[in-house]
Amino acid sequence: MRPSTWSGTPEIIRLGGVRGDMLAPSDVERGQKSSRDIAGDFELKAQAVIVASGGIGANPELVR
């Protein structure tokens, strides 16, 4: 999944959900460049959202 929009109230930095594109399945190994073909979309809403990011493409420096 590839989030494109976070829903919530930016003034108090409170997230209420996420929506974005579901990417087509791929047999590419983890960490390798894969297709960005869109296979659908998604939207999830919740009372609380926890964002835990361990890096982008195995590169924690990109998170900063």
Dump pLDDT digits (tens) for 8-23: 665 656 677 888 899 9
Q: How confident is the model at residue 39 (pLDDT cuts 50, 70, 90)?
A: very high
Mean pLDDT, range 28-34, rounded to an integer: 89
Q: What is the 3-state secondary structure (H, E, C) of the chain?
A: CEEEEEEEEHHHCEEEEEEEEEECCCCCCCCCCCCCCEEEEEEEECCCCCCCCCCECCEHHHCC
Question: What is the span of the domain harbouring residue 16?
Answer: 2-62
In whole angstroms, what is the distance from residue 61 CA to residue 22 CA? 25
pTM, rounded to two decimals? 0.46
Number of domains in the chain: 1
